[in-house]
Structure 1
């Protein structure tokens, strides 16, 4: 099963992060085992050119929506402007869906579910279609990676690799439902009972801009595997990934109405979550928006899954190999300029090893190339939007006023007069009550917090509104596991950082409700029904 894995032997930072020869950081890429072989490496090299929207995207993707298996002209006249985070200039315009467009998508999704052509199809037949979707996606991996870079500035090496996990979700769920009956029979004193898992119904999938393809596919693959129908609303900043995915779905032979795409803004999203024909809402985004969605869904008792904010802690024990931590986790303290939910933004360091750690970590961060995300050597590109840029700089200013010490960075990246470039920033002398240690910044900003032993580290790690991800480094695996079991966080890795489509991902506390990935992710798109057969 493909994995996002940072586990492995200790390696010096230049081997991991920045190839001095001008080539892509190969070891970093090898550890991201989403897709292997020559094809992905060829696609990766193609990412270095600028994106040609007219030449690389079909007319359907550029001008229409995907509704009921067809490419439909917009009913309104509103447009999105895509702004390059590199130049701050408008680079593309495309239609924005209206409530009327969204209403048409909801209606056909409802009709498609109620007629049962997909929901009632045998799971082995659904698995065949899922595998076809995965295959179509793999043929477009280079395009998906380039789109991510063009729209929001994801570094090209990161985008080309990370997109490889997206088709793996379809493969995983295809395998899972091929081996699952969706029911089991139980004996009770009065007879027997069949307990059946049925699709929850019509699902609204609302995804953010930071990882638009992967976050949509981890929801969509599970929803389709369960037999649901879907209306997807991608973010205004990244509307194109879902439309290219619709081309994959159409080529794979998914029945009309089962998957529909309406790129739209907040107004349409708010309309969608209130619709009685929508049985379930699955949302990834900010905790503030997630709370609003939860309240709306609660009023009508609609099913809801939420994958929200994080302030993940990386716990370094006093016996840890600092070099191994630098090799395996340092790049993921601020991946994609810190705009990934599992970024390890709180680093908990043994007080007695503080100076040793800071010397190694600051040297590593200082070696990260900041620049154009199209350059395969770039580790830190711009943040995605002007709003995000201002937000990150505001957090940096607050941290300074509260007494945190910026040992590196602390403002706009030098040498970049245009674009939303923030210098990689590491704050030392951080305490858990500081804003920078409590709020999700979503930028290349890391807090270093000293601890005085395992109990203190556990206390600090748990002193957060969030509980999404985390890492623990120790030479004693048993010790690391004991710490992991006491941290209120949904996903923890010992001596590395790993994700996998077969494993549930989600958070405790204000990091969300429900899980995505694994069998648990499939269950969230089903309802349980018990059918009794009394003894004669």
Structure 2
């Protein structure tokens, strides 16, 4: 960690390190409960300055860049992030408790891959498309940058979730004010270092950690043209209301309570081997995790046993140890919230098959023992609300129609998984799930495919070409017949 300063009392505005006028906040290591850094917090004045800088860059040098020039810059940006991959992974694991084996992939090398993908995409995407008119004449359809973007990101996957906004926004020609969560603001400044190294013009990227009041100020700021938000459904509703009133484009990637349908013909060895990565990834602090397991009554006891034994044997410990599968949660408040759900599940009489306690082995850190509840009705609180911790429920179903009904009987619709020995059967079931994404015998985001939810899981899509178009607006130029 010697190559990363953990004290960041400054903000990054207009290509410069600026003293934060909103004070500072301590960053506490999830595994030790000890302060290991501090970050500056933006004031309203800082947000004003960041938006002015972003507007000047949009109207000035960045607005004059061709798509090829933007692609070249993004490639340099991605290379600079890749050079910081291992340091970024360690820093995030200290901030939020993510096991380092996962953090290296998603926080380390994931952002660099996104910048490379969007650099290649903007090189091959036509900015203007001539179309013949149906009534004579011609039309040129242009794809122009939407403008100044306010990107508001959470603490659970800080590097990739920021990159999912930064890379397509910059590829489209937008400028960005990034507002990272204070819990994981330290790693956000690696984007500033990479921007400077890549030669990104001043003001194209600005980074302003902030509290809730100033975050709301940013979202409603008249100088913002679009908001891109990842976070809780409650916060997303509030942001959506503001953007709706202002007629401001918004992308909302929100919560989930996804189901894993275990079909009668499922290979339970395959399912159990994938459980940690699909249902308990990042200590359960993952919006798309399949935390509701739906099991056929004909194999119900078998499924409960497989899930229980798999979860019981997961390695809990120091997130910087490569052997660790479950690390601590991000904060004491998050730990207490998750334990509250566990106590509620016990009080409601659901059968606890493993877990249910706080720290199972470490004497410090915000740990929660991986927990499984069986015989949980789909109407139960622990089956309906997003817990955001290492807690799974198992619910029986009679036939595939009931399995689909139970999977869809949720206010959320972000993800889901199907487990079957017949891929075609899995695809057919996936088509019936009310969700933005579904995995068959697998779940992993694809950079080239859209990610996002329906219902209370959000509006809009990130990743893929759809992620680029979210930062473009169409303009039609009508021409007379020649």
Common topology (TM > 0.5): yes
User: What residue ranges of structure 1 are gaps of 5+ in the alignment?
Assistant: 1-51
Alignment partner, residue 126 of structure 1: 70
Out of 198, 222, 227, the position equivalent to 1:281 is 227
Q: How does 1:250-289 map onto structure 2 within 5 Å? A: 250-289=196-235
Q: Secondary structure at the match of 1:535?
A: coil
Any conservation in 2 of the 1:120–1:227 contact (CA below 8 Å)? Answer: no
- The 8 Å contact of residues 334 and 345 in structure 1, kept in 2 or not, is answered as yes
RMSD: 1.3
- The CA distance in 2 between the partners of 1:514 and 1:437, in whole Å, is 25
- C-alpha offsets along residues 172-211 of structure 1, whole Å, 9 cap, x if unaligned? 1111111111221111122000111111000000000001
Q: Match of 2:361?
A: 415
1:483 aligns to 2:423 (yes or no)? no
SS of alignment partner, residue 257 of structure 1: coil
1:330 positional shift: 3.8
Matches for 1:64-463 after TM superposition, within 5 Å: 64-76=10-22, 78-115=23-60, 117-163=61-107, 164-188=109-133, 189-463=135-409
1:329 CA drift (Å): 3.5
CA distance in 1: counterparts of 2:269 and 2:423, whole angstroms: 17
Residues 1:529 and 2:465 are matched in the alignment: no
Contact 2:31–2:94 under 8 Å retained in 1: no
Q: Is 1:514 matched up with 2:468?
A: no
Q: Deviations over 1:30-66 (max 9, x none)?
A: xxxxxxxxxxxxxxxxxxxxxx4xx33248x723211
Match of 1:499, SS state, is coil
> How many angstroms does 1:167 deviate by?
1.0
Matched residues in 1 for 2:267 and 2:54: separation?
A: 53
Structure 2: which 5+ residue stretches go unaligned? none
CA distance in structure 2 between the aligned counterparts of 1:254 and 1:475, rounded to whole angstroms = 49
2:3 and 2:210 map into 1 onto residues whose CA distance is 22
Q: 8 Å contact 2:345–2:382 — kept in the other structure? A: yes
Equivalent-residue separation in structure 2 for 1:503 and 1:241 (angstroms): 26
SS in 2 for 1:225: helix
Residue 471 of structure 1, CA deviation:
0.9
Matched residues in 1 for 2:62 and 2:413: separation? 36
Are residues 1:501 and 2:459 paired?
A: no
Report how far residue 228 of structure 1 moved: 0.2
Q: Is the 8 A contact 1:203 1:281 kept in 2?
A: yes
Residues 330 and 361 of structure 1 are in contact (CA less than 8 Å); yes or no, is this contact kept in structure 2?
no
How far, CA to CA, are the matches of 1:120 and 1:470 in structure 2? 43
> Secondary structure of 2:338's match?
helix
User: After superposition, where does 1:41-56 map in structure 2 within 5 Å?
Assistant: 52=1, 55-56=2-3
- Equivalents in 2 of 1:328, 1:476: separation in Å? 17
Q: CA deviation at 1:230?
A: 0.4
SS at match of 1:446: strand
Deviations 1:511-530 (A, max 9, x none): 00000000001111111110
Structure 2 length as normaliser, TM-score? 0.97
- Cα distance in 1 for partners of 2:209, 2:221 equals 17
Choose from 402, 407, 417 the match for 1:471. Answer: 417
Distance 2:341 2:244 in 1: 33
TM-score (norm 1): 0.88
Measure, in 2, the Cα distance between the counterparts of 1:347 and 1:124. 47
Task: Tell whether the 8 Å contact from 1:329 to 1:496 is kept in structure 2 after alignment.
Answer: no
SS at match of 2:36: strand
Distance in structure 1 (CA, Å) of the matches to 2:441 and 2:31: 35
8 Å Cα contact 1:194-1:530 kept in structure 2: yes
Q: Which residue of 1 aligns with 2:4?
A: 57
Query: Is this contact kept in 1: 2:317–2:361, CA < 8 A?
Result: no
Distance, in Å, in 1 between the alignment partners of 2:40 and 2:429 is 50
Deviates more, 1:391-400 or 1:510-519: 391-400
Pairwise CA distance, 1:368: 0.7
Alignment size in residue pairs: 480
Moved more, 81-90 or 385-394: 81-90
**Aligned-partner SS, 1:329:** helix
